[in-house]
Amino acid sequence: MLEYLIKITLNTFYMAIPAALLVAMVKSEDHSHRKRYLSLGFFLGLICAFIYAVLKRNTGFAVREYYDLGALIPSLLTGALLLFAMIRAFSAETGPGFRRVLHGLVFCVAAGGTAYCAPNIMLYPFEFAVGMDTIFNTEFMFKTAGYALGILLVFLTWLALHRVALNMPRRALLAAWAASHITLLAFESLTIAQILLGRNMIPRYRWLTRPVIWMLTNVNAFTYILMGLSVIVAAILYIKVKTTAPVGENPAQVRKMKFQARRQVRFCASVLLGVVISLLTVTVGVTYSSRRVELSPPVEFPATGDVISIPLERVNDGNLHRFVYKVPRGSSTTDVRYIVIRKNETAYGVGLDACDVCGPSGYYQRKGQVVCILCDVVMNTRTIGLPGGCNPVPLKFEITGGSLVIRTEDLAAEARRF
């Protein structure tokens, strides 16, 4: 249960906060056309996510990195323009042409953000029954419950923050949304850079790889920033409510204002409660769920001449096997780690215990899945041995005489990675 509660929280909370503030801004302006474009963008994003999820589930055609680029690049570009357009719209009167442009930007940002965020939510349920003979068991029930609780937690927090934002002063709402939107744009920029670096589409400049590695190492930093911003938003409204005396022409109006003030305080408390539960989920929950991770020590297979021969029966169990070859370097050696896993009846995945993005961090097996130690990304076992993304760097091999054969020169050529 905890596994999918964590996944849903991490994959949706960072998008829910800017979305709640954006919807509040659109409603506060009372432009029916803008609301319509926001809704249309959201539904288009859901349709794109659904199509991708179907292709990903049923074919080998869909590649997640390319899909993410198609969603994130337009979202990033239009999001940057939307930031300036919203500031302009709040600070001065605008004409019909400018408002039409603003409607289009709102539409593109809503569509791109939803298209990027939604596929995981749609695909997670297909993981529930992996390795099970039947869905009528406790494990499947707990996974489903964790998934549902995650969605409910994020939605209720979104709803409470949205209600809080609707009652905020106009300029404070603009500042809060701008801060959340800038945080989201920074996340999207680094995610795009990570994909481009992983696919070798751009040179590996140090000034670019450093922030990407920082993001992978501190993957939850953007979520924490947005959680803190949510608390600040709730605090602003709480202070406003507590420092504003209810005034009315008659006792009935005063009672109504007091009732509205109590509702606003409850919404503030709901935001705080949602943030606290989410924070505990992605900190204490992650620590608890990963407390038993144990890395298997790499096994050294002696080389015979210029080749290493690993009997297939050693790697036929479907588990991840880690090996090491000591490459001579002057008076010392460099440990070059590599991994082997049987993917199906006829295929094996062989690669370095390192990837192009995360470096020599390595991989381990968790509940039958191969996971990157640094960024906690789950590998698609079928793609191990293929380049791209967080996949292990491919390593050449042959199947000869019941053994998996790897040339030492291929391992030595990769020693620079370790």
CATH code 3.40.50.11900 for 299-417: no
**φ and ψ of 407, to 5 deg:** -85, 135
- Residues 353, 354, 359, CA angle at the centre, nearest 5°? 150
Q: What is the mean pLDDT of residues 31-50?
A: 84
* DSSP one-letter code for 311: E
Contacts 24+ apart (CB under 8 A), 393-399: 393/351, 393/352, 393/354, 393/355, 393/356, 393/417, 394/350, 394/351, 395/338, 395/350, 395/351, 395/352, 397/348, 397/350, 399/312, 399/348
73-114: pLDDT as tens digits: 999 999 999 998 888 877 767 677 787 888 888 899 999 999
Domain ranges of the chain: 2-289, 299-417
All residues at 6 or more sequence positions from 151 whose CB lies less than 8 Å from its CB, including other chains: 8, 12, 121
Count of CB atoms situated within 10 Å of the CB of 239? 11
Can you tell me the distance from the alpha carbon of 91 to that of 191, in angstroms, rounded to the nearest whole number?
32
Q: Going along 101-259, which residue ranges are E strands?
A: none
Please tell me the distance from the alpha carbon of residue 280 to that of residue 286, in angstroms, as a whole number. 9
Task: Tell me the average pLDDT of the chain.
Answer: 83
Q: Indicate the burial class of 314 (C-beta count within 10 angstroms; 0-12, 13-18, 19 or more).
A: middle
Q: Which of 18-27, 41-50, 88-97 has the highest mean pLDDT?
A: 41-50
pLDDT digits (tens, 9 = 90+) for 238-285: 888 888 777 766 777 778 878 888 888 899 999 999 999 988 888 887
